[in-house]
Amino acid sequence: QVQLQESGPGLVKPSETLSLTCTVSGYSISSGYYWGWIRQPPGKGLEWIGSIYHSGSTYYNPSLKSRVTISVDTSKNQFSLKLSSVTAADTAVYYCASFLYYDSSGYYKNWGQGTLVTVSS
Amino acid sequence: QSVLTQPPSVSGAPGQRVTISCTGSSSNIGAGYDVHWYQQLPGTAPKLLIYGNSNRPSGVPDRFSGSKSGTSASLAISGLQAEDEADYYCQSYDSSLSGSVFGGGTKLTVL
Protein backbone atom coordinates (compact mmCIF):
# COMPACT_ATOMS: atom_id res chain seq x y z
CA GLN A 1 0.00 0.00 0.00
CA VAL A 2 1.49 3.29 -1.12
CA GLN A 3 1.48 5.95 1.57
CA LEU A 4 2.57 9.56 1.25
CA GLN A 5 3.34 12.11 3.95
CA GLU A 6 4.01 15.82 3.46
CA SER A 7 6.35 17.69 5.76
CA GLY A 8 7.66 21.23 6.03
CA PRO A 9 7.07 24.61 7.66
CA GLY A 10 3.48 25.61 8.23
CA LEU A 11 4.27 29.32 8.10
CA VAL A 12 6.28 31.14 5.44
CA LYS A 13 6.94 34.86 5.16
CA PRO A 14 5.95 36.80 2.03
CA SER A 15 8.63 36.89 -0.67
CA GLU A 16 10.38 33.84 0.81
CA THR A 17 10.51 30.28 -0.55
CA LEU A 18 8.05 27.58 0.46
CA SER A 19 9.72 24.16 0.79
CA LEU A 20 7.89 20.88 1.29
CA THR A 21 8.94 17.25 1.18
CA CYS A 22 6.83 14.20 0.47
CA THR A 23 8.02 10.90 1.92
CA VAL A 24 6.76 7.79 0.15
CA SER A 25 6.41 4.47 1.94
CA GLY A 26 5.24 1.08 0.74
CA TYR A 27 6.58 1.68 -2.76
CA SER A 28 9.91 2.59 -4.32
CA ILE A 29 9.82 5.89 -6.19
CA SER A 30 12.26 4.38 -8.68
CA SER A 31 9.80 1.62 -9.61
CA GLY A 32 7.54 3.85 -11.66
CA TYR A 33 4.63 6.24 -11.28
CA TYR A 34 4.92 9.92 -11.62
CA TRP A 35 4.68 12.01 -8.46
CA GLY A 36 2.76 15.25 -8.13
CA TRP A 37 1.93 18.26 -6.02
CA ILE A 38 -1.58 19.71 -5.84
CA ARG A 39 -2.78 22.57 -3.66
CA GLN A 40 -6.12 23.77 -2.32
CA PRO A 41 -6.59 27.32 -1.00
CA PRO A 42 -8.94 27.50 1.99
CA GLY A 43 -12.52 26.99 0.86
CA LYS A 44 -11.51 26.63 -2.79
CA GLY A 45 -10.84 23.93 -5.37
CA LEU A 46 -7.83 21.87 -6.37
CA GLU A 47 -4.95 23.25 -8.44
CA TRP A 48 -2.26 21.15 -10.06
CA ILE A 49 1.23 22.51 -9.30
CA GLY A 50 3.49 20.07 -11.09
CA SER A 51 4.71 16.48 -11.48
CA ILE A 52 8.00 14.61 -11.65
CA TYR A 53 9.13 11.20 -12.86
CA HIS A 54 11.79 9.25 -10.96
CA SER A 55 14.24 10.04 -13.77
CA GLY A 56 13.85 13.71 -12.92
CA SER A 57 11.63 14.79 -15.83
CA THR A 58 9.35 17.56 -14.63
CA TYR A 59 6.07 19.14 -15.74
CA TYR A 60 4.78 22.37 -14.25
CA ASN A 61 1.56 24.36 -14.27
CA PRO A 62 2.30 27.25 -16.67
CA SER A 63 0.80 29.72 -14.21
CA LEU A 64 3.37 28.74 -11.55
CA LYS A 65 6.25 27.55 -13.71
CA SER A 66 8.50 30.55 -13.12
CA ARG A 67 8.40 29.99 -9.35
CA VAL A 68 8.24 26.19 -8.99
CA THR A 69 10.92 23.55 -8.69
CA ILE A 70 10.11 19.89 -8.06
CA SER A 71 12.92 17.43 -7.40
CA VAL A 72 13.25 13.77 -6.44
CA ASP A 73 15.64 11.97 -4.09
CA THR A 74 15.38 8.27 -4.84
CA SER A 75 17.85 7.37 -2.07
CA LYS A 76 15.45 8.78 0.51
CA ASN A 77 12.31 7.80 -1.41
CA GLN A 78 11.21 11.42 -1.31
CA PHE A 79 10.27 14.19 -3.68
CA SER A 80 10.17 17.88 -2.90
CA LEU A 81 8.49 21.14 -3.84
CA LYS A 82 9.98 24.62 -3.78
CA LEU A 83 7.81 27.65 -4.53
CA SER A 84 9.62 30.97 -4.55
CA SER A 85 8.49 34.55 -3.97
CA VAL A 86 5.36 33.50 -2.16
CA THR A 87 2.44 35.80 -1.41
CA ALA A 88 -0.76 35.42 0.58
CA ALA A 89 -2.34 33.89 -2.53
CA ASP A 90 -0.10 30.86 -2.04
CA THR A 91 -1.73 30.05 1.31
CA ALA A 92 -3.21 26.60 0.83
CA VAL A 93 -3.26 22.98 1.85
CA TYR A 94 -0.53 21.30 -0.19
CA TYR A 95 -0.99 17.65 -1.16
CA CYS A 96 1.49 15.23 -2.62
CA ALA A 97 0.18 12.31 -4.66
CA SER A 98 1.17 9.41 -6.87
CA PHE A 99 0.22 9.94 -10.51
CA LEU A 100 -0.51 6.99 -12.77
CA TYR A 101 0.40 8.23 -16.25
CA TYR A 102 -0.92 6.77 -19.49
CA ASP A 103 -1.71 7.96 -23.02
CA SER A 104 -0.53 11.51 -22.21
CA SER A 105 -3.07 11.54 -19.38
CA GLY A 106 -3.42 10.05 -15.94
CA TYR A 107 -4.89 10.24 -12.49
CA TYR A 108 -3.84 10.76 -8.87
CA LYS A 109 -4.08 7.35 -7.26
CA ASN A 110 -2.77 7.86 -3.72
CA TRP A 111 -2.76 11.09 -1.74
CA GLY A 112 -0.98 12.39 1.31
CA GLN A 113 -3.06 13.86 4.12
CA GLY A 114 -2.06 17.39 3.12
CA THR A 115 -0.27 20.14 4.98
CA LEU A 116 -1.49 23.69 5.48
CA VAL A 117 1.02 26.37 4.56
CA THR A 118 0.17 29.92 5.54
CA VAL A 119 1.99 32.86 4.01
CA SER A 120 2.11 35.69 6.50
CA SER A 121 4.59 38.02 8.12
CA GLN B 1 -12.02 30.15 -13.27
CA SER B 2 -11.44 26.41 -13.66
CA VAL B 3 -10.70 24.84 -17.04
CA LEU B 4 -13.32 22.16 -16.34
CA THR B 5 -16.76 23.45 -15.30
CA GLN B 6 -18.83 21.79 -12.60
CA PRO B 7 -22.02 22.95 -10.88
CA PRO B 8 -21.16 24.45 -7.47
CA SER B 9 -23.72 22.33 -5.68
CA VAL B 10 -26.22 19.49 -6.04
CA SER B 11 -28.52 17.88 -3.54
CA GLY B 12 -30.73 14.86 -3.13
CA ALA B 13 -32.65 12.88 -0.56
CA PRO B 14 -31.40 9.57 0.80
CA GLY B 15 -31.99 6.79 -1.70
CA GLN B 16 -32.23 9.13 -4.67
CA ARG B 17 -29.91 9.40 -7.66
CA VAL B 18 -27.92 12.53 -8.48
CA THR B 19 -25.55 13.41 -11.30
CA ILE B 20 -22.66 15.85 -11.39
CA SER B 21 -21.54 17.22 -14.74
CA CYS B 22 -18.05 18.20 -15.82
CA THR B 23 -17.79 20.28 -18.99
CA GLY B 24 -14.54 20.82 -20.82
CA SER B 25 -13.36 21.80 -24.28
CA SER B 26 -11.58 20.58 -27.37
CA SER B 27 -8.20 20.75 -25.64
CA ASN B 28 -9.10 18.39 -22.82
CA ILE B 29 -12.18 16.14 -22.60
CA GLY B 30 -13.15 16.83 -26.22
CA ALA B 31 -9.67 15.83 -27.37
CA GLY B 32 -10.29 12.35 -26.03
CA TYR B 33 -8.43 12.56 -22.73
CA ASP B 34 -9.94 10.51 -19.95
CA VAL B 35 -11.83 12.02 -17.03
CA HIS B 36 -11.27 11.01 -13.42
CA TRP B 37 -13.30 11.80 -10.31
CA TYR B 38 -12.34 12.39 -6.68
CA GLN B 39 -14.37 12.52 -3.50
CA GLN B 40 -13.26 14.84 -0.72
CA LEU B 41 -14.97 14.29 2.60
CA PRO B 42 -14.93 17.26 4.99
CA GLY B 43 -11.47 17.91 6.40
CA THR B 44 -9.79 15.10 4.48
CA ALA B 45 -7.64 14.63 1.39
CA PRO B 46 -9.27 13.84 -1.95
CA LYS B 47 -9.77 10.16 -2.71
CA LEU B 48 -9.84 8.59 -6.18
CA LEU B 49 -13.43 7.61 -6.96
CA ILE B 50 -13.54 6.93 -10.71
CA TYR B 51 -10.62 6.61 -13.15
CA GLY B 52 -10.56 6.29 -16.91
CA ASN B 53 -14.08 7.75 -17.27
CA SER B 54 -15.95 4.83 -15.77
CA ASN B 55 -13.68 2.53 -13.75
CA ARG B 56 -13.98 2.14 -9.99
CA PRO B 57 -10.94 1.43 -7.82
CA SER B 58 -11.24 -1.51 -5.49
CA GLY B 59 -13.45 -0.67 -2.53
CA VAL B 60 -15.58 2.00 -4.23
CA PRO B 61 -19.26 0.97 -4.15
CA ASP B 62 -21.00 0.35 -7.47
CA ARG B 63 -23.46 3.10 -6.52
CA PHE B 64 -20.85 5.40 -8.07
CA SER B 65 -20.57 5.42 -11.86
CA GLY B 66 -18.97 7.62 -14.47
CA SER B 67 -19.49 8.34 -18.14
CA LYS B 68 -18.09 10.59 -20.83
CA SER B 69 -19.46 11.95 -24.08
CA GLY B 70 -18.05 14.63 -26.34
CA THR B 71 -16.66 17.50 -24.29
CA SER B 72 -18.43 16.47 -21.07
CA ALA B 73 -18.40 13.81 -18.41
CA SER B 74 -20.77 12.87 -15.61
CA LEU B 75 -20.60 11.25 -12.22
CA ALA B 76 -23.76 9.50 -11.05
CA ILE B 77 -24.45 8.49 -7.49
CA SER B 78 -27.42 6.22 -6.89
CA GLY B 79 -28.99 5.16 -3.60
CA LEU B 80 -27.72 8.32 -1.91
CA GLN B 81 -26.45 7.88 1.61
CA ALA B 82 -25.63 10.43 4.29
CA GLU B 83 -21.93 9.53 4.09
CA ASP B 84 -21.87 10.58 0.43
CA GLU B 85 -22.06 14.22 1.51
CA ALA B 86 -18.75 15.60 0.23
CA ASP B 87 -17.08 17.68 -2.45
CA TYR B 88 -16.55 16.00 -5.82
CA TYR B 89 -13.92 17.00 -8.37
CA CYS B 90 -13.35 15.97 -11.97
CA GLN B 91 -9.85 15.94 -13.49
CA SER B 92 -8.42 15.48 -16.97
CA TYR B 93 -5.44 16.45 -19.08
CA ASP B 94 -5.28 19.64 -21.12
CA SER B 95 -3.06 19.76 -24.20
CA SER B 96 -2.91 23.57 -24.19
CA LEU B 97 -1.59 23.62 -20.64
CA SER B 98 0.35 20.36 -21.00
CA GLY B 99 -0.80 19.20 -17.62
CA SER B 100 -3.60 18.17 -15.31
CA VAL B 101 -6.71 20.28 -14.94
CA PHE B 102 -9.40 20.06 -12.28
CA GLY B 103 -13.01 21.14 -12.14
CA GLY B 104 -14.00 23.72 -9.58
CA GLY B 105 -15.70 21.09 -7.44
CA THR B 106 -19.31 20.27 -6.60
CA LYS B 107 -20.66 20.14 -3.08
CA LEU B 108 -23.15 17.31 -2.63
CA THR B 109 -25.71 17.78 0.12
CA VAL B 110 -27.80 14.83 1.25
CA LEU B 111 -31.09 16.29 2.44
What confidence tens digit (pLDDT) does each residue in A16-69 have? 999 999 999 999 998 888 999 999 999 999 999 999 998 889 999 999 999 999
Q: What is the mean pLDDT of chain A?
A: 95
- Give the pLDDT of residue B3: 92
**Neighbouring residues of B1: CB distance < 8 A, sequence distance ≥ 6:** none
State the smallest CA–CA distance between residue A121 and chain B in angstroms.
26
- Give the pLDDT of residue A2: 95
How far is Cα A83 from Cα A20, in angstroms, rounded to an integer?
9
- Give the pLDDT of residue B88: 98
Report residues of chain B scoring pLDDT below 70. Answer: none
Q: Mutation test of the interface with chain A: which of B100, B101, B102, B107, choosing the one with the most A Cβ atoms within 10 A? A: B100
Kindly determine whether residue B100 and residue A95, on different chains, have CB atoms separated by under 8 Å.
no
- Give the pLDDT of residue A111: 98
What confidence tens digit (pLDDT) does each residue in B12-31 have? 999 999 999 999 999 999 99
Percent of all residues in chain A with a pLDDT value above 90, rounded to a whole number: 89
- Strand-pair category, A47-53 with A58-60: antiparallel
- Give the pLDDT of residue A114: 98
- Give the pLDDT of residue A32: 82
- Give the pLDDT of residue A102: 85
* Beta pairing partners, B100: B93
- Give the pLDDT of residue A14: 98
- Give the pLDDT of residue A17: 98
- Given a contact cutoff of 8 angstroms between Cβ atoms, the answer to whether B12 and B110 are in contact is yes
Kindly determine whether residue B89 and residue A46, on different chains, have CB atoms separated by under 8 Å.
yes
Work out the average pLDDT over A85-110: 94
